[in-house]
Chains A and B, each alone.
Chain A
Amino acid sequence: MSKYKLFLLRHGEGAWNKENRFCSWVDQKLSEDGLKEAQDCGRLLKEQGYKFDLVFTSILSRSIQTAWLVLEAMGQEWVPVVKSWRLNERHYGSLIGLNRAEMALQHGEEKVKLWRRSYDITPPPIEESHPYFLEIYNDRRYTTCDVPKENLPRAESLKEVLDRLLPYWDSTVVPEIRKGRTVLISAHGNSCRALLKHLEGISDEGIASVTLPTGIPVLLELDENLKPVKPRQLLGDQAKIQAAIKKVEDQGKAKQST
């Protein structure tokens, strides 16, 4: 018997998604398509009559923008929005900003595959010489985290994402769910995947093949122990969902030559 409803949402396209670059902690805003994905998602949730009590986002603008557009479409702008770095996208270390071809060139296809598919292998850390280092670490938002700036990650495996996400989930999100609040988590591909792994008990090997489409709300119905009572549901028109899944999978396929 489902007691609680939890919604996860992976934000839509940012400028770098088009170029297949790892955006990670670089604070890109949504592209026009990404804005539209968020609005469509909001319209769908409104049509289906969902009412949120609380929204959690990361401190990256694209997840916040997504949450705002969803709430706007639903006429629920008044719903509290709580932000935390612990929902940020996975930190891709020195791979940030590189596209697939550049990565394969610099590190070799096998290494790249390993970093992307493995659960606990961390990519090389971002160095001060990296073109995006200052843009990230000089940003004032990283002085407001519950961890001193110097202790924030310089690179993460998916496991490390869950390691910094889980305490937040337990201390801050779970109590709200237990109060019966309908929660939306508007976040990123890997922070959503890490949470799904935890909630659904997916194995370290199994999580590699789980990808969430962008802009499609994921409904989890949970029992009083916060265990899912049924498989996750991707909400909306089936054709649209299939197209969104295909889009993400195509991006993941190795491209030939340039």
Chain B
Amino acid sequence: MAAYKLVLIRHGESCWNQENRFCGWFDADLSDTGEHEAKRGGQALKDAGYEFDICYTSVLKRAIRTLWFVLDSIDQMWLPVHRTWRLNERHYGGLTGLNKAETAAIHGEAQVKIWRRSFDIPPPSMDDGHDFYQSISKDRRYADLTEDQLPSCESLKDTIARALPFWNEEIVPQIKEGKRVLIAAHGNSLRGIVKHLEGMSEEAIMELNLPTGIPIVYELDKNLKPLGPMQFLGDEETVKKAMEAVAAQGKAKK
């Protein structure tokens, strides 16, 4: 018997996903496809009759707008929403803005795979000469972050290390109070939560591709241990297709 239910949703395709560029903290918007995915995800939640009490998201518009589409679909726009940089996507440092296929051609598929898929090897830093240094590191939304908190690049390990404190200190108490939580975020910040919930190894989390725009449901016991594997809401084909699509990225185009 589930004590709690938690729903996660990874935002859909962004304009940069479309171009296969490392996005990270760049505030790319959803593409038309991404908007459609968000609406479809919202519809799946509506059809299944989900009600929430509180929502969490990052400070990046592709996650926030995904949440907005969902809340509109399920007619719960009035829910409190907390935005936090700690749920942001992994910071891709000096790779931010680079096309993934080009990067693979320059550095080799193996190096790209290491940067994208290793647990604790960070990409090169984003230094102050980088095209996106001003628009990211100096953005007003990060004004309250200390020097230690503001990353210039992150490994998956780093991403998880700054996401989990928020999960533990802010989200978990709400779940334990019986609040039904919806989290709309990014592939790597959500991987952090999933790794933690399921006690997954570093190797295992690297292999896991969360589908986009598809609500992911966990049933948890009173200690917040999942009672079973994550469930996806939506039709089988949509789910299968989405997982295959993510795995295909990062391979150099011939």
Contacts and interface: CB of A to CB of B under 8 A. Distances in A.
B61 A78 contact: yes
Given A61-B77, A64-B77, 7 more contacts: A51-B140, A61-B78, A78-B59, A78-B83, A80-B83, A83-B80, A140-B51
B127 to A, nearest CB: 24
Interface of B: 27, 51, 53, 59-61, 64-65, 68, 72, 75, 77-78, 80-83, 140-141
A144 B72 CA distance: 19
Interface string A50-67: 010000000111001100
Task: Bin the interface of chain A by size.
Answer: 10 to 19
Interface string A31-69: 000000000000000000001000000011100110010
A235 B59 CA distance: 28
Contacts of A65: 72, 77
A249 B65 CA distance: 35
Given A59-B78, A77-B61, A83-B78, A68 B83 contact: no
18 contacts: A51-B140, A60-B78, A61-B77, A64-B77, A65-B72, A68-B68, A78-B60, A78-B61, A78-B64, A78-B83, A80-B82, A81-B81, A82-B80, A83-B78, A83-B80, A140-B51, A141-B78, A144-B53
A72 B65 contact: yes
A61 B68 CA distance: 11
Contacts, number: 33
A108 interface: no
A64 B78 contact: yes
Q: Which applies to chain A's interface (DSSP): helix, strand, loop or mixed?
A: mixed
Interface of A: 51, 59-61, 64-65, 68, 72, 75, 77-78, 80-83, 140-141, 144
> Closest 9 interchain pairs by CB?
A78-B59, A59-B78, A77-B61, A77-B64, A141-B78, A64-B77, A78-B141, A61-B77, A68-B68
B230 to A, nearest CB: 26
Contacts of B61: 72, 75, 77-78
Nearest to A59: B78
A83 B141 CA distance: 20
B65 to A, nearest CB: 6
B186 to A, nearest CB: 14
B125 to A, nearest CB: 23
Nearest to B65: A77
B161 to A, nearest CB: 22
A80 B72 CA distance: 18
B120 to A, nearest CB: 28
A103 B191 CA distance: 57
Contacts of A144: 53
Contacts of A75: 27, 61
B83 to A, nearest CB: 6
B236 to A, nearest CB: 31
A152 to B, nearest CB: 14
Contacts of B80: 82-83
A60 B83 CA distance: 20
A59 to B, nearest CB: 4
Contacts of B140: 51
B52 to A, nearest CB: 10
B119 to A, nearest CB: 28
A180 B143 CA distance: 14
A140 B141 CA distance: 32
Contacts of A141: 78
A45 B247 CA distance: 41
Contacts of A81: 81
A118 B77 CA distance: 33
Contacts of A72: 61, 65
A58 B140 CA distance: 26
Contacts of B53: 144
A199 to B, nearest CB: 26
Nearest to B53: A144
A78 B27 CA distance: 10
A72 B140 CA distance: 16
A83 B81 CA distance: 9
B203 to A, nearest CB: 34
Contacts of A80: 82-83
A74 to B, nearest CB: 11
A68 B67 CA distance: 11
B79 to A, nearest CB: 8
A81 B82 CA distance: 8
A192 B72 CA distance: 24
A59 B61 CA distance: 22
